[in-house]
Structure 1
Amino acid sequence: MSAKPSGDQPPGSELPDDVWEQFTRDTERDIRTSAPKEPSARARMVTERLRAQDARGEVPPGWRTPSVRREKGRRTLWTAVGVVVAVAVALVALKPSLLPGDPFGTGESEAAEVRPLPAESAPPTAAPGASDPETPTLDEPFAGSPALRWADGEDGIVLPEAKAVGAVPKDRVEQALKLTKRLLVSANLAPGTLRGERPEAAFSVLDPKQPDLVGRLGASLRSPSEKNDPVGLFSRFDPDEIRLVGDVVKTRGRMTFEKGAQGGVAVRADYTFVYPVSRADGSTEVTRTIVRRVLETELADPARYRVTPGRLLVMKYDQDIGNSSCSVHDGYLHPGFPSSASASAAPSGPAVDPYDRSRDIENGDGADCGTVTRT
């Protein structure tokens, strides 16, 4: 291939020696590059092994798949992952509470805000914290109230574990606790009592051999007066004026017991009841009346004292009523509504938080008519 052309070429067509040599080198290189090459012994062995495995069906699927196809599969996978991540980010942005804990420091989740409080086991040291200033409605009568997280009705009256007190056996202590709870339920939670009916279940718990109390309570229901008003022990609303919103009354408090002065067991109950109400004329405006009661009872020893077995003596009772008229003494509670002028007397006492169970009301005589800081 390096021979120079013979001299029979036409005159003037001869190539310079250096050009001809460059042409010769380029031609030889191209021939070597394009010429078939015999595979090495190792390459032949690998090829034969793959053919045999392919014939037996042992070659993994996709081993011949072009790299472009694998790259396309990776792009598809990452696209799907990106869509999932984008959807997750959007959901968390709309509702951060979906994330566990509180990674953004936004406070308690919505579920935590309405989670019921544990039962009260010791005297509170302060009033409940401030709540969102929400207006109560017929659908959400406890909106904006600390009572939203309180127990419903008699579920909030949790009895302590009964134990023997001195010579009083455990079963007598348990009986005294249950009777006191029955009195509280009948006087403050029974639908009939709240509608202004006579609380017969409460009278069935009281000892008729305590005539000064039983007689006075009966007279207060028949002829209520400023000095003898049944709301001192019973929560009652005039059905012609007020109706309860829903069927839930929120309750919070505690009960304790000790050895009694009448040879039996003495029980002290301290509970607050929150009543959401509206006018009976069909108005949709909702307000709340908050009643705290401190009640001391005793299941006396009938072997030592002239008492009725299985009946309670009421040793003392006191109350703190928030958002009810102080000037009306007709045997009913009269809630005040924000949209109307207060019908109660001018405030003569301090402003108080009716949800503050850390205050002591045992020495209150009900003479002062103050204002409440919230309902």
Structure 2
Amino acid sequence: MRPAEPDDIEERFRALVAQFGDDEIRRLTDEADLGERAVRRRDRRPVRAVLLTLFAVVVIAGLVIGARPDVLGRLSSLAGGSGGEQTPEPHFGAAVARPGPTLNPVPGEPDGDTDPETGPDPDAGTGPGATGAAADPFAGSPAAGFAVGGKGIVTPHPKGLGGLSRGQVGEALRRVRRILTAAHLDPATIRGGRPAALIALLHPRQRDYFREHLDKNGPDNTRRWVFSLKPGSAEQATDVVKVDGETTMAKRHSRDGRGGVTITADYLFVYAVNRPGDPAATTRLVTHRTAEFSAYERDGKLTVWLERTARSDAGAGCGFADGFVHPDFGDAPDGVSAVEPSGSPIDPYDRKRNMARAGCFPSAPV
């Protein structure tokens, strides 16, 4: 939490004093005076007198809390602590902070709220009436301790940096968070539909590029920018998506002289899917997404630009040019991959060693 400013401390002190009546304040003051006079009679040396006076102040504080135990809770509330009634700020957390463990899918997530201008609500579930599965499909995997949906996408606290104001940096972080949400948690996009939520959030020039290259086979296929199941290959076993990772921010270094900030996202998204109409055939998919964004001011407006992005999928076939995720249920006679995996198995939950990269690698169990 940001340290309180001096003016805030003074206001909170006045609010504390206002909790007591004149008689009570007079009694506490008299007790402090008595303690101070006693100290002076016993020892005139300045250093000891200062120490004993400080001790008297501590005693008074103890008397205050003892006489009015409700004050402690009120002070916590005034300071923004957890003892008050304030609601945690919904969009920002500590830099690289990880949410606490959530052991089971959260039932009854709010309806997904997709705004045509801002995209889906990062804190909503991944679909209407998200209810989770009857049995926890994430149990027994590291994903059991991940956060649910947009609650796992955390961003640094905004501050003025690189010539941008605190408000501009905050807006850039919100935009990045919504882009990640649209790319990986939007129900229509997950099902393989048109990624309208992401399109609405991209810079106009990148929006045109995305549309032009969407579902065009080849390395420039922008379907790779999102998580989309190959239509007809699978359906979600639960609307719950588990998320873990971090967003970091630094001053932008570039030759264009615009300054600004660089925002880097590094996240795991874990899905539970089954064959269409066959709930018994359930598997987990682990997608590792890395992305780098630039945020700077241009022509008096804030620009948020996706510089680069990469995705790797575990629990799915690889080598496909269509950009879709092809789940591997482990029982296909000839396998699912278009390219045969090679090399040492990769731990899909180890973000530091399993950087999203090109190639087809075998995966440890997901």
TM-score (norm 2): 0.59
CA-CA distance at 1:333 after TM superposition: 0.4
Residues 33-83 of structure 1: per-residue CA shift (max 9 Å, x gap): xxxxxxxxxxxxxxxxxxxxxxxxxxxxxxxxxxxxxxxxxxxxxxxxxxx
Is 1:352 the counterpart of 2:343 in the alignment?
A: no
Counterpart code for 2:292: E
Task: Summarize the alignment of residues 81-92 of structure 1 with structure 2, pairs less than 5 Å apart.
Answer: none
Question: Could you tell me which of 273, 279, 295 is aligned with 1:277?
Answer: 273
Matching residue of 1:240: 232
**CA apart distance, 1:178:** 0.2
State the SS of the aligned residue for 2:267: strand
- CA displacement, residues 320-365 of structure 1 (integer Å, 9 cap, x when unaligned): 2212211333332011113334221321343101100122626x3x
Q: 2:317 is matched by which residue type in structure 1?
A: S
Q: Is the 8 A contact 2:237 2:279 kept in 1?
A: no
> Which residue of structure 1 lines up, in the alignment, with residue 165 of structure 2?
169
Q: CA deviation at 1:158?
A: 1.5
Q: Distance in 1 between matches of 2:265 and 2:310?
A: 11
Given candidates 334, 343, 346, the residue that maps to 2:336 is 343
Which residue matches 1:151? Answer: 147
Aligned positions of 1:195-344 closer than 5 A: 195-210=191-206, 214-223=207-216, 225-260=217-252, 261=254, 262-303=258-299, 309-341=301-333, 342-344=335-337
> 2:196 is aligned with what amino acid?
E
Across the two proteins, how many residue pairs are aligned to each other? 234
1:230-274 CA distances to partner (integer Å, 9 max, x unpaired)? 342100013422101111000001111122234222211111100
Instruction: Classify the secondary structure of the residue corresponding to 1:372.
Output: coil
> What secondary structure sits across from 1:301 in the alignment?
strand
Gaps of 5+ in 2: 1-92, 99-132
Q: Which amino acid aligns with 2:326?
A: H
Task: Note the C-alpha offset of 1:215.
Answer: 4.0
Q: Is the 8 A contact 2:152 2:244 kept in 1?
A: yes
Q: Tell me whether 1:369 sits opposite 2:363 in the alignment.
A: no
Task: Give me the whole-angstrom Cα distance separating, in 1, the residues matched to 2:306 and 2:291.
Answer: 8
Q: Secondary structure at the match of 1:314?
A: strand
In the alignment, the residues of structure 1 paired with residue 238 and residue 168 of structure 2 have an alpha-carbon distance, to the nearest angstrom, of 37
Q: What residue identity is the alignment partner of 1:338?
A: G
In 2, the alpha carbon distance for the partners of 1:201 and 1:310 equals: 20
Alignment of 1:15-54 (within 5 A): none
Aligned to 2:84: none
Paired residues of 1:120 and 1:253 also in contact (CA < 8 A): no
Task: Extract structure 1 runs of 4+ deviating beyond 4 A.
Answer: 119-124
Report the AA paired with residue 304 of structure 2. Answer: L
**Aligned 8 A contact 2:259 2:296 in 1:** yes
Using the size of structure 1 for normalisation, the TM-score is 0.58
Gaps of 5+ in 1: 1-118, 125-136
Which structure is larger by alpha-carbon Rg, 1 or 2?
1
Change in CA separation of 1:205 and 1:310 when aligned onto 2, cut-off 3 Å: farther
CA deviation map 1:188-223 (0-9, x unaligned): 00111101122222122211234xxx4443234243
Contact 2:199 2:210 in 1 (8 A): no
Which residue type is aligned with residue 168 of structure 1?
A: L
CA 1:265/1:227 → structure 2, altered by over 3 Å: closer, same or farther? Answer: same
Q: How far apart in 2 are the matches of 1:360 and 1:340?
A: 26
- Does the 8 Å contact 2:245/2:268 carry over to 1? yes
Offset at residue 281 of structure 1 (A): 3.4
Give the conservation status (yes or no) of the 8 Å contact 1:205–1:312: no
**Residue identity in the other structure for 1:182:** R
- Percent identity for Structure 1 against Structure 2: 31
* Alignment match, 2:126: none
2:205 counterpart SS class: coil
CA distance in 1, matches of 2:193, 2:277: 20
Structure 2 equivalent of residue 44 of structure 1 = none
Superposed CA RMSD in Å reads: 2.4
User: In 1, distance between residues paired with 2:195 and 2:168?
Assistant: 25
| Whole-angstrom CA distance in 1 between matches of 2:345 and 2:292 | 27
Query: In 2 relative to 1, CA 267–172 (structure 1 residues): closer, same or farther, beyond 3 Å?
Result: same
